[in-house]
Amino acid sequence: MVNLILSAIRQSSVRISVKLKQKQLFQIEAMKEELKCGLRLICS
């Protein structure tokens, strides 16, 4: 019984960390796009 609970907790924490990583990747991509736009403005 305890093992079932522990494995469920582990699975849900893995899911949460995956979601957080996806969020970070999305934020990094958005920052890259902003940088590209900024560079275009500076260079043009």
Tokens of 27: 């934020």
In this prediction the pTM is: 0.57
Tokens of 38: 């900024």
List, for residues 9-29, the tens digit of each pLDDT value: 899 999 989 999 999 999 999
Q: Where do the domains of the chain lie?
A: 15-44
Distance between CA atoms of residues 34 and 44, nearest Å = 15
| Model pLDDT, residue 22 | 93
| Model pLDDT, residue 43 | 82
Q: What type of residue is 19?
A: K
Query: How does residue 42 score in pLDDT terms, banded at 50, 70 and 90?
Result: confident
Distance between CA atoms of residues 17 and 3, nearest Å = 21
Distance between CA atoms of residues 9 and 22, nearest Å = 20
